[in-house]
Structure 1
Amino acid sequence: MKLDEKSILGTPPRREKLADKLYGKLMQAIIDGQFKKGEKLPSEHRICQHYSVSRPVVREALMRLQADGIIISRQGSGSFVQRIPPAGLIQYADASDVSLLLKSYEVRIALECESSALAAERRNEGQLIQLRDALKGMEEDFSQGRIASEADFTFHMVIAEATGNDMFPSILESIHMDIEKAMTMALSITKSASQERIDRVIGEHRMILDAIEQRDSDGARLAMRHHINRVRKRVTDNLSDT
């Protein structure tokens, strides 16, 4: 059998994957203090040379950093550091994985907001008990200084199951690993933060539970969207209590 060049060398890495890695490396450089708040990043050309990547890869990584509010682009001047993310962002996850983990929040918004609304309409009493137990488990984990990722994922999985549509828990389970990594990263930052932040996290889950219990589908959808958006913001912002 004749092997072509692709068979010998393997499939070239996707630009998206390269951009993910560059995103993480630039994020780490900012967190490590190589670039201070307000400082200008190197030019696209310099970044291309330093990391041995193409200009489209650099532009994509910079666009993601800008979308996350980490940098700001000024036409004709370049990109500047706008905010320093918390050190926990790379302390609890490999820098090359950060972009992928942050993307999981977009998927969760698309999936879990609607599943929460359906759960409010279709849940049964047994599922309400499971949600209360999961929330209680989160509170106990935090009170003992533990990461509450298992109880947190259980809470969200029960909501998916409460839709009565097997596709929701199936999809959630298929991305379980990425979600769990993202949860661990976020909850690790929360665990090491103030009690006020922990109370906010618990409060967000309680709002979701209350809406589902009251069969308020619109309220459940909004509460879930608010929660996931706040989680992502806690991960990317260097704020202690929001």
Structure 2
Amino acid sequence: MQIVGVEVPGGNPALSTLLGHGQDPYQLAWEEGYRVLRPLSATGMVDDLTVTLLVMPHRRPITPRGPQRTRTTLRKDEPVVDPVVRQRLAAYAIVVSDRGVLATEFSDRTAVPGMWGLPGGGIDPGENPAATVQREVFEETGQDIEVVRFLDLQSDHWIGHSPTGVVEDFHAVRLIYAAHCHHPADPVVHDVGGTTSGSRWVPVDALRDVDWINGSRALLGKHAKAVLHGWRTR
């Protein structure tokens, strides 16, 4: 995935670099001399995806830190094996409607069964991230949505078991969108047997009561207020 930084929207690139395995895009921009103000856009298909960030020079001393710290979900008594190196580009959304915020429950095929996250998943070959969000939301919740705007970019790096049991050195790169659901229905999981076991609408006043995974909780804390405001003032 290509990371491009511009100092004004539509301006010439101030930085342009590939996101390597395990690298965090915000850290990468910092080490190029820029602070990320906000993501602007994600264009292209999964094989030639470009994410453009609004940046400004930070003029601070730079100490390269290398790839993100790699955590592990493996048990200490497991045999040591060489993990399969994998970078996965995925797209997710904060989906809002008059019924609240859409949430999906992780199945026992994941490392966090019973916890809740935002709907979304891996970008398929020949697919752009916004189309991924629409497809994944329908597969996981049965809702038809309108993708409104690109919100954020997340990166996470760990060693652990994939849903198929393979030990992977896994770099998750997540593109986050805001989306509206104009005709919310009772959620239903169509993709049965996958990593999603359930889905539901969470009322706005109950968001803090949900057992969210850390990444989703952080995204909601950062963006939910603005996304809900956009829905109410549409």
Q: TM-score, normalised by structure 1?
A: 0.27
Please state which structure has a larger fraction of its residues in strand. 2
Larger Cα-atom Rg: 1
Please state which structure has a larger fraction of its residues in helix. 1
Q: TM-score, normalised by structure 2?
A: 0.28
